[in-house]
Structure formats: C-alpha cells, structure tokens
Structure 1
Amino acid sequence: MKFSVFTASTPDWTPEEAARILASQGWEGIEWRVTDQADAPEPGFWAGNRATWPLDGLEGDVPEIARITRESGLEFSGIGGYARADDHANVDRMLAATAELGARQVRVAMPRSDSGDYRELFDATRRDIARAAARAAELGVKALIELHHETITPSASAAYRLVDGLDPEHVGVIHDLGNLVIEGQEAPLAAFQLLGPYLAHVHVKNVRWVAGETEADGTVRWSHEWATMRAGQADVDTYFAALHAFGYDGWVTSEDFSTELPLEERTRDNLAYLRESEARSRSLAGVTAT
C-alpha cells in the first residue's frame, strides 16, 4: 500500500508548503482539494484552506499543480473534487483536469440524502454517474464515489447499488473508515468483497461519539467529533487486516480533521501510525511482507 494526504486536512499550508513538508516526512502521494471556498479570517478545513485549488480558473492552474507535485517527488493519489454528480459541466472539467494531470481518478460528490425523495435522488444520480463514467472512459480516468454520511451513498451496499453494471475501469468507490463510524458501517471485509472491482481507493481518519447532556427523562443525546487516528472508535488495525485479506494494495489517503496536535506533528505521527498499523495487520490477515 502507498500513503498520501488529502489537503482538506492541511489548511495551514500553501500548496508548496504542503507538498514539501509531506514529501520530507516520507508520504508518497498527495490528493489535492479542488473547490471554490469561502474566505475565513483563519485557515480552516472547509473555509480559508490554503492548500485548496479553486475550481474557478482550474484549467489555468493545472500546470502549477503539476509542477508543485512533480518537483516535490510526490505522486497523485487522486483529486479531491467537490463537483456534484448532477453538475455535468463541472464534473467534465474535473475529469479533464485529472486526465491532463495524469492523476488517474477524481471524486464526484453525491447529493445529500435529505435533499429530496431518496428513490428519485438515487435514480437520477445513477444516470449522472453513468454519464460521468462514459466521459471518464473517453479521457482514460476514473470517477470516484465516496462513502459519506448524510449522502445517498453512506455505505458500501448503497454505493454498490449505484455503480453495479458500470465499467469498474472508469467508475469506482472510495471506502472511508471514519465516515462509516458516523453512518453506514458494515463489516469491512464483507464490504470490500461486495464492492469487488469497484473498490478503487481508501480514505482513513477517525471519529468518536461524545455523550451530551442528559435530559430530564434520562435520555442521552450523542454527537460525533473528529479524533486522532490513535484515539477514535474505528479499529485501524482490523481495517488494514481486512484490506490485506481482500488483496487491496492501492492508495490509502489520510484526512485527519482532529486538531489536538499541531498540523506538522499530526501528519508526521499519522504516517508513523499508519505504517505501524499496516505492518501489524499483516499478521492478523496472515499476509507475508514482500
């Protein structure tokens, strides 16, 4: 497996800083965040993120994205796009930029599950994804669907229904360990086996559930918050063991949204932990190192 970082999780750094620091720490790849975002007084994950490339004017930035990535020695693990499946013009732009960069694969965003009747949303999105897959085939790239809470594909089962019958060379699924703690959790190995050739990419972060105030009748309201890789509820070792057992040997992309450690310490520790966990998991899965 090879390890990369999604730059949504590195908001304090410029693209040049992100590429240089991640390469110096030993990461092998980078997944650039591409979206138009709101300004913010301080850099944040979702607004004012300095390591984000704007969608507006993306075509003009492609040479600079390529240069920064190439000169750092990092590879593209993919492109973190936010164009929704029904935004055909911007999906096409993202696919074209991915092809020009040689980045191979790009995320296409799913509609929220609360944005309409689920059955109608699902049927319409199936048509949109079929269209995106056809365009990706023309360009020699792959459109990716992420398992994400509060969207129409929170689970492997839902994503499989969406892509089943489409060409897995040009449409695939991002399995996301942390998101599934919030919604959509299924046994990892079973999920990988269900997805089969559609398992194209992996995101790793961690989450914990936190008890809120207890109401007068004794009801406890819970909420989730991002946690460090080491402290969240998802079992990273077991996850890697399932990936090994399935035979996955592709990219594993970190997107840690916890803030307990300073950013540079956080990314350094994440790489150390992911490598340690991946090595430990080999014995769990009965896999011999090569």
Structure 2
Amino acid sequence: MKFSVFTASTPDWTPSEAAQTLAAQGWDGIEWRIVDDRPAPGQTVPADRSFWAGNKSTWQYTGIKDSVGEIARITEQAGLAYSGIGGYQQAADHDDVDTMLRVTSELGARQVRVSMPVYRQVRERTGETYPELFDRTRADLEWAVSRAAELGVKALVELHHMTITPSASAALRLLDGLDPEHVGVIHDLGNLVIEGQEDHLAAFELLGPYLAHVHVKNARWVDTGDTRADGSSVWQHEWAPLRTGQASVSGYFEDLAAFGYDGWVTIEDFSTDLPLQERTADNLAYLRSLVPVSA
C-alpha cells in the first residue's frame, strides 16, 4: 500500500508547506483539494482556519488550468506522487467535470473525484425523487466515464453520507456495467460511521474491480444532551482521531488485506486533538504499524 494525505485536512499549510512537510515525514503522495475557497467580499478568514473554509492548501478551482504547472512543480520537487485529485465538481456540471478530468490528465494524477448529488438538498430544490435523481446521475456518470476514457483517467465516486451513494451497495448500483478502468469507488471508513455502514470485506468483494481508492478518517456519535419534542435524545456525529473513533482502523486494514487491496490509502483526519504537524506524523506512524511500508 501507499499512503497519502488529502489537503482538505491540512488547512494551516500553503501548498508548498504541505508538500514539503508531508514528504519530510515520509508520506508517499498527496491528494490536492481543488475547489473555490475564498472569503466572500468583506469576510475575514478566522485565525483558526477551518478545514472547509479558508483552507490554505487548497488550489482554487477558478483558473485551475493556469495552476497546473505550479501544482506539478510543487508536487515533483517534494518527490511526492499523486494519489488522485480531490475535486468537488457535481456530476451534472459537465463543463466543470470536463475541466477536472483534463487537469487530472495533464498532471498525470490518474483519478479524480466527481461529486454525487446530496439527495435531500436536490429534492427540496427540484422535487425530484431518489429514483429520478438516480437515473439522471447515471446518465451524467455515463458521460463522465466516456470523457475519462478519452483522456486516459478515472472518475471516482465517493461513499459519502447524505449523497445518493452513501454505501457500497448504492454505489455499485450506480456504476454497474460501466468500465471499471475509467470509473471507480472511493471507500471511506469515516463517512460510513455516519451513514452507509456495511461489512467492509463484503463491501470490497461486492465492489470488486470498482474499488479504486480508499479514504481513512474516523468519527463517532455523541449525545448532545438535547431532546426533541417527543422526549427522544438528539445525537450528532463528530470527527475523531484514528485510534479513538467508533470504526476499527486496524480491523479495516485486516479486511483490505484479506481482499488483496494494495492501492492508495489517503488520510483525511479532521480531528483537532493534536496540532496539525503532530497529527500527520502520528497518523503515518499508526498506518505503518498496521501495514508494513514494504507491503
């Protein structure tokens, strides 16, 4: 296996700082976050930067074609490989998806995430039912896969809570019959704590050639102490360090090994118990304790 970090989880570092620090720690690769993440007019970025707003190691999507050379220079100078590209372009936005597929091809990054629609948001906006949204997204994905094939890259669908593909079963239904050389699934351990949990080994076997990439983070459910009008408890999820979340990371790697997965494992740790540099170093040491670096 090869280990990388998704820069959504490194908000305090510039791209150069992220690449140099991760390379010095011994990571094999990096997964760049590409999305427009600038403050709105008049808005200031908080000193304590969040992962999803004001993230310094994000490449802005607007003008991304002009940033390809700089992305390549920073990545190559650090001696890192690309585990993929963390795109945020919705499958229905063909022009934007095409841009990200082209950028991925130009970088030699091989694979890029294409975002799936968030079911309830779309239903509230358009009135579409899940089957209607599913069918529309399948058509969008068929188009994306044809473009990916032309460009020699792969479109990735992430297992993500609240989207139409929260589970391996849902993702397989969406992808079934498409060319696994040019479309695949990101299996995400932490997201599955929130929604979509299935036996991991069974999910890997179900996905088969569509298992293209792995994201690892951890999460837990906590009682907020609030109650609903009916007196029932209100629970919410929060991100947790790899060792202390609800999911067993060691058990997950045992299942990956049993399936024979030997590809990229990308960490996106959104916990804040440790400072960022300690967190990334500790996560790599933990991964290596589970999977020897030579494996």
SS for the counterpart of 1:33 is strand
The alpha-carbon deviation at position 172 of structure 1 amounts to 0.3
Q: Which amino acid in 1 is paired with 2:8?
A: A
Q: C-alpha distance in 1, partners of 2:221/2:118? A: 22
Query: Partner of 1:257 in structure 2?
Result: 270
In structure 1, the partner of 2:145 is 133
Letter in 1 for 2:86: G
Counterparts of 1:188-207 in structure 2, within 5 Å, are 188-207=200-219
Aligned to 1:220, which of 230, 233, 242? 233
Question: Cα offset for 1:277?
Answer: 2.2
2:45 is equivalent to residue 55 of structure 1:
no
The residue aligned with 2:108 is: 102
Partner in structure 2 of residue 164 of structure 1:
176
Once the two structures are superposed, residues 64-113 of structure 1 have per-residue CA deviations (whole angstroms, 9 ceiling, x without a partner) of 00000000000000000000000000000000000000000000000001
Is 1:186 aligned with 2:193? Answer: no
After TM superposition, give the deviation of residue 219 of structure 1 in Å.
Answer: 2.2
**Secondary structure of the equivalent of 2:273?**
coil
SS at match of 1:203: strand
Query: For the Cα contact (< 8 Å) 1:35–1:55, is it kept in 2?
Result: yes
Among 241, 251, 255, which residue is 1:242 paired with?
255
1:16 alignment counterpart: 16
Paired with 2:93 and 2:102, the residues of 1 have a C-alpha distance of 14
Is 2:188 the partner of 1:176? yes
Moved more, 34-43 or 6-15: 34-43
2:42 paired residue number: none
If the length of structure 2 is used for normalisation, what is the TM-score?
0.93
Alignment gaps of 5+ in structure 2: 40-44, 124-128
Structure 1 runs, 4 residues or longer, greater than 3 Å off: 214-218
SS at the partner of 2:291? helix
AA at the equivalent of 2:243: R
- Give the number of equivalent residue pairs: 281
SS of match in other structure, 2:97: helix
The answer on whether the counterparts of 1:172 and 1:198 sit within 8 Å (CA) in structure 2 is yes
Q: Is the 8 A contact 1:241 1:278 kept in 2?
A: no
SS in 1 for 2:119: coil
Q: How big is the shift at 1:38?
A: 3.6
Counterpart-to-counterpart distance in 1, 2:207 and 2:93: 25
| 1:92 counterpart residue number | 98
- Is contact 1:237–1:278 with CA below 8 Å preserved after alignment? no
Paired residue secondary structure (1:19): helix
Deviation of residue 218 (structure 1)? 5.2
Distance, in Å, in 1 between the alignment partners of 2:79 and 2:117 is 35
CA RMSD between the two structures: 1.2
Task: Give the TM-score normalised by structure 1.
Answer: 0.95
Which residue number in structure 2 is paired with residue 37 of structure 1?
Answer: 37
SS in 2 for 1:166: coil
Q: Distance in 1 between matches of 2:237 and 2:79?
A: 36
Q: Distance in 1 between matches of 2:291 and 2:251?
A: 9
Distance 1:258 1:211 in 2: 18
Contact (CA 8 Å) 1:104, 1:141: kept in 2 or not? yes
Secondary structure at 2:157's aligned position in 1?
A: strand
Question: What is the CA distance between 1:209 and its match in structure 2?
Answer: 0.8
Any unmatched runs of 5+ in structure 1?
280-288
**Counterpart-to-counterpart distance in 2, 1:45 and 1:200:** 25
Query: What per-residue deviation string (whole Å, max 9, x for no partner) do you get for residues 126-152 of structure 1?
Result: 000110000000000000000000000
State the Cα distance separating 1:217 from its structure 2 match.
6.3
Write the letter of the residue equivalent to 1:4.
S
Letter in 2 for 1:81: G
AA in 1 matched with 2:263: G
